[in-house]
Amino acid sequence: MYISEVFKKPAFALAAIFVLLGLYVFFPIQTGGHEENGAQMAHGHTGVVGEYTFDDFDPVSYLKSWNFNDLPEKEREKFYREQNLPDGTLLREYWIYAVDKKIEVAPGVFFDAWAYNGKVPGPTIRATEGDTIRVHLINQGSHTHSIHFHGYHEASMDGAMPEQFVQPGKNFTYEFMAEPAGLHVYHCHSTPLKDHIARGLYGMFIIDPKEDRETANELIMMMNAFDTNFDGENEVYAVNTKAFYYADTPIKVKQGELVRIYAANMVESDPINSIHIHGNFFNEYQTGTLSTPSAFTDIIELGQAERSVLELRFKFPGKYMFHAHQTEFSELGWMGFFEVEK
């Protein structure tokens, strides 16, 4: 009876109906959620969806690049030059630009990085023990930056003191002798330190011993992570920046050949990281400084800035996974495959 009364008051009834209709049109009650999933869902090993769209950092080429040898000769000269010194060693001169750069860390996920030469990790610097290293840092970014090399050098070249920070628009030249032989890293030491490392300012610094190591298929692997929402926890973990990249594009090696991996960990916010290779064992040379292996194992743990040279020969052909055995990291992107060919 009262419902009918409502309809005798057309103004109220109409108002009520319009309000409800309007609401329903814009915010319908949803019953969805049970429709069949599209066939698009792949059932691969990786959790990410889609493909990388930025191609200005190629994790495949990074594996085997040092001293800008991935660039054409003309282009390379802008960043790297070498000249013979009277004592038979080389003077290696680098031009490194610190810039603000948006990088892709998982398909479709972009991170506002600070990067040496616009790449994370920065370019690999490689010399022979006794060479002279001269690095020009040009700060084109919006913050102060520096380069702090692991290895022997004088205090003035340490890049860790506030007065050694390079202001935006300024530059500084680091010079020192490459020693000791081994696998090292370099990184920004400006404060707040953890921010500068988390943003991507780090790279590999390889010093070869005077007596060449055995010829091998050499691979450079920098373990890193990205806190994309800046809440103090990493959303993306990877080896060489792009989550799951080598899971979709396995690293090709030959059965029985000597494979040498230069592995370093620069993950911020987590105390430890690791690398585990399936179905094989390797010799570990901690920090790459000694000629005798420090372990024969299939997994090593690394704290931040720790690094090791790993040598192995894959025993059987096929696909072998490698990943952090902090399994949480592996499901957040730090997982890939070796494809061992006969």
Partner 1 sequence: MRKLIIGVLPVVLLVLLIASFLQFGPLGLLKTAFPPVETVAFEKVVLEKDKIAVSIINDGPDEVTISQVLINDAYNQFHITQSTLKHLEKAVIYLEYPWSEMLPLRIKLVSSSGVTFEKEIPVATPTPVPDSRYIISFALIGLYVGVIPVFLGLLWLPLLKNLSRRWYDFFLSLTVGLLIFLLIDALEGAFELAAEIPQTLQGVSLIAIGVFLPYLTLLAIGKKDSIDADNKSAISHTLRLSYMISLAIGLHNMGEGLAIGSAFSVGEITLGSLLVIGFMMHNVTEGIAIIAPIAKQKGENTLKHLLTLGLIAGGPTIIGAWIGGFVFSQLWSLLFLSVGVGAILYVVVEIVKFMKRDAPTTIFTFTNIAGFLSGLFIMYVTGLFVF
In the complex, the residues that contact partner 1 under the rule CB under 8 A are 1-2, 5-6, 8-9, 12, 15-16, 19, 23, 26-27, 29-35, 37-38, 40-44, 46-50, 105-112, 226, 228-229, 231, 235, 243-244, 328, 331-333
Minimum Å distance from CB 16 to partner 1? 6
Residue 171 to residue 173: CA distance in whole angstroms: 7
Between 232 and 256, name the residue whose CB sits nearer to partner 1.
232
Minimum Å distance from CB 211 to partner 1? 44
Where residue 155 falls (left for φ over 0; alpha for ψ -120 to 50; beta otherwise) is alpha
Between 15 and 85, name the residue whose CB sits nearer to partner 1.
15
Between 16 and 161, name the residue whose CB sits nearer to partner 1.
16
Minimum Å distance from CB 184 to partner 1? 30
Token pair recorded at residue 95: 């031009």
Amino acid at 266: M
The phi, psi pair for 113, rounded to 5°, reads -90, 160
| Inter-CA distances, 265 with 6, 197, 219, 249, Å | 72, 11, 15, 21
Minimum Å distance from CB 141 to partner 1? 18
Query: If you search the block for the tokens 């957040």, which residue do you land on?
Result: 332
Beta-strand ranges (E) seen in the chain are 80-84, 90-106, 109-116, 125-128, 132-139, 148-149, 171-177, 182-187, 202-208, 217-226, 236-239, 251-254, 259-265, 273-277, 282-286, 295-297, 299-302, 307-312, 318-323, 335-341
Between 16 and 85, name the residue whose CB sits nearer to partner 1.
16
Minimum Å distance from CB 46 to partner 1? 7
Minimum Å distance from CB 55 to partner 1? 17
Query: If you search the block for the tokens 């769209």, which residue do you land on?
Result: 53
Between 27 and 83, name the residue whose CB sits nearer to partner 1.
27
Between 24 and 296, name the residue whose CB sits nearer to partner 1.
24
132: three-class secondary structure by DSSP: strand
